[in-house]
A and B are shown apart, each in its own frame.
Chain A
Amino acid sequence: MKTRLVPTREPGPATLSTRGFVAYRGYRPPPGMLSWALHRITGLGVLLFLLLHIVDIFLVGYGPEVFDELLFLYRHPVFRIGEIILVGAVYYHAANGVRIILIDFWDKAARYERELLYGVIAVFLAGFIPTAVLMVRAMIR
């Protein structure tokens, strides 16, 4: 019988020997690996935006001239594309977060690992597609 290692957190790239991407050729990652990497990347990305957002909202306290002058930045097309990616990151992080909590508190969740991942993808797409359509429509209007 194979022994299964139970890590304290989901396994990340640090547990593998990495010699560039060539080492991964033909390798099919377990369902938890890609979702783990995406969870961390989206989390740190959203945190970075949050810090910027706190700075801009702090400027609201300096009055309409100061704050509204800054808004050309958020209205720039590059930022509006970034805004859609940001919302996608929040949605994915939220959906995958529910999966992590289920695995942590529901004993049988480990049996449905792949199904849970498909569930995350389904919830993400169900939320993100209509949101992205509405945001793109507002952007090109």
Chain B
Amino acid sequence: MSIPRRRAGRERPSGGFELYSWYFFRISGLLLIFLAVTHVVIMHVVNTVDEIDWQFVADRWASPFWRAFDWLMLILALLHGLNGARLSIDDYVRSRSWRVFAYSLLWTTALVFLVIGSIAVLTFNPDAFGVDASATGS
């Protein structure tokens, strides 16, 4: 019988959903460092809320690259954040009925925001608003 080498690092979940969640938390976190920091620099430093308006978003989403970028970031950020909220509920919400309520609210929020976020990014069509197409550069 072999004795597994004791890890010096922190313990991690032994398996099942919690282990997947543990890995997802870290992998999505690494991807989000790249995605979110790029997003922050472009949308909050290089451009600011003074420049950003509907037309700005329409121009940006004329490119499939930025749509894919934004959609990937949306999905990863939302699931990463809600996973954090899930662990917080696990830590702080003690009574059984409040836990049922909090988890129900959490999963409902996840579903609703994943759907409306995806609709926003993927189905956007600037031509539907009769805006001069030459102005959008598309």
Contacts and interface: CB of A to CB of B under 8 A. Distances in A.
| Chain B CB within 10 A, most for which of A87, A103, A110 | A87
Given A6-B10, A109-B9, A75 B49 contact: yes
Q: Nearest 6 A-B pairs (CB), nearest first?
A: A47-B81, A64-B54, A107-B8, A58-B120, A67-B54, A63-B129
Contact-residue size bin, chain B (C-beta under 8 Å from the other chain)? 35 or more
Interface in A76-129: 79-80, 83, 87, 90-91, 94, 97-98, 100-101, 103-110, 127
Interface of B: 7-13, 26, 29-30, 32-33, 36-37, 40-41, 44-45, 48-50, 52-55, 57-58, 74, 77-78, 81-82, 84-85, 87-88, 91-92, 109, 113, 116-117, 119-121, 123-124, 128-129, 131
Interface of A: 6-10, 12, 14, 40, 43-44, 46-47, 50-51, 54-55, 57-58, 60-61, 63-64, 67-68, 71, 74-75, 79-80, 83, 87, 90-91, 94, 97-98, 100-101, 103-110, 127, 131, 134-135, 138-139
